[in-house]
Amino acid sequence: MTSPTTYRFSFGPWNISEGNDPFGPEIRAAFPHEKKLALFRTLGFEGVQFHDDDVVPGLDECTPGQMLRRAAEVKTALDDEGLIPEFVAPRLWFAAQTVDGAYTANSAADRAYARDRTRKCIDIARALDCKAVVLWFSREGTYIREAKDPKLAYVRLLESINAMLDYDPEIEIWIEPKPNEPTDQAYVPTVGHAVALSYASKAPHRVKGLIESAHALLAGLDPSDEMAFALAHDKLGSVHLNDQNGLKYDQDKNFGGANLRVAFNQVRVLEENGYGRRGEFVGLDIKAMRTQRGSPVTEHLKASRELFLLLVEKVRTLDRALVEQFRDARDYEALELYVLRHLMGTKP
Ligand code: XUL
Ligand code: MN
């Protein structure tokens, strides 16, 4: 018998927010960015997800020396708090040069900006002693299909990934697929696309996927099957657990908040396949409700972590022999009732 996995959790500073949305401004007092690291441990988290400019604000205006000094300060702060940087992601959707995408922009100068910004992101990851860079392809896509040559776009994405692998011989690249928003249709909408890019790259063992529950649901897919696909190829770098109620904007709801059974199956697939045993984090990417009072707001993070652990118990107490019996008998009606009763804590 192997001992049960002790899960480690992570979130990013952007998950503690001031409540602005596309229709209105901030409604909570700002909580200073530099004070957020002190919250992680008390909330039960030891991993920190970063965008490059979460580490080095104003990155585009910094000299290389300023960038590395700031990264070194953050590294010290992480060490002081006993925190681990899980990944650094280049924010390739804010600058004027990224209006039309980054690696797939039609302008050569804009693509050069994206490559340069990515190298800075890798330099920051290295300075933090962080082993992974996450690529959420934000604006790599189109509002109308005729805007870009889609085959060329995929070639450019692959070339950009290879350039990153060349730039740093150790860094891992975790692709976070999402099918839409902010573009109408995004390139690399599913983990299947990400895994194909991995195998086509010059270092497939260093290119993996990061699966966000809401993104998979927006693609009309079940997040647990997306996770299983990545796990079957040993390419699940991390997860962004959250939830999504139907096909609308990316909601980043509390994990299990819209669909407990879908959440249970994600936990089941992770737990049954030993996710976390090699140090992988259970990452969250969750937005606090705009209605929530206070500053900082952290209940959503605590609640989603707790829900994950409650579901781990549900997975561990599932009667596997009974499940096998139902599978052998091809009695999925009985299996479904058993699972639902188990989730509700009802005795048969
Ligand atoms: C966007 C999203 C990002 C990535 C990191 O939908 O999920 O926050 O997780 O860039
Ligand atoms: Mn995410």
| Homologous superfamily of the 9-300 domain (CATH) | Divalent-metal-dependent TIM barrel enzymes (3.20.20.150)
Regarding pTM above 0.95, the answer is: yes
Determine the Cα–Cα distance for residues 279 and 223; give it in Å rounded to an integer: 21
pLDDT for the residue 302: 98
Tokens 């390419």 -> residue? 235
- In angstroms, what is the span from residue 319 Cα to ligand 2's centroid? 33
Could you read off the pLDDT of 171-226 as tens digits, one per residue? 999 999 999 999 999 999 999 999 999 999 999 999 999 999 999 999 999 999 99
Model confidence over 33-86: pLDDT tens digits? 889 999 999 999 999 999 999 999 999 999 999 999 999 999 999 999 999 999
- Band the pLDDT of 347: cuts 50, 70, 90: confident
Given a cut of 90, whether residue 26 has pLDDT beyond it is yes
What's the half-sphere exposure (Cβ side, CA atoms, 13 Å) at 132? 28
pLDDT, tens only, 125-147: 999 999 999 999 999 999 999 99
Residue 173 has a pLDDT of: 99
Average pLDDT value for the chain: 97
Q: Which of 243, 308, 304 is nearest to 275 (CA)?
A: 308
Domain ranges of the chain: 9-300
Q: Whose CA is nearest to atom 3 of ligand 1?
A: 136
Nearest CA to ligand 1 atom 8: 285
Specify whether the CB–CB gap between 86 and 283 falls below 8 A. Answer: yes
What CA–CA distance (Å, rounded) separates 283 from 237?
10
Q: What is the pLDDT of residues 85-101, one digit of tens each?
A: 999 999 999 999 999 99
Cα dihedral value 312, 316, 321, 326, nearest 10: -20
Query: What pLDDT does 225 receive?
Result: 99
The two three-digit tokens of residue 38, written as one number: 């002190």
Query: 2 pLDDT band (50/70/90 cuts)?
Result: confident
Give yes or no: 54 in active site: yes
SS3 182: coil
Helices (H), the chain: 37-43, 52-55, 64-81, 108-128, 150-167, 191-200, 213-218, 223-232, 260-272, 299-316, 320-328, 332-344
Interval 222-248 mean pLDDT: 98
Is there an atom of ligand 1 within 6 Å of 89 CB? Answer: yes
Residue 1: predicted pLDDT = 64
Collapsed DSSP state (helix, strand, coil) of residue 336? helix
Residue whose Cα lies nearest atom 5 of ligand 1: it is 136
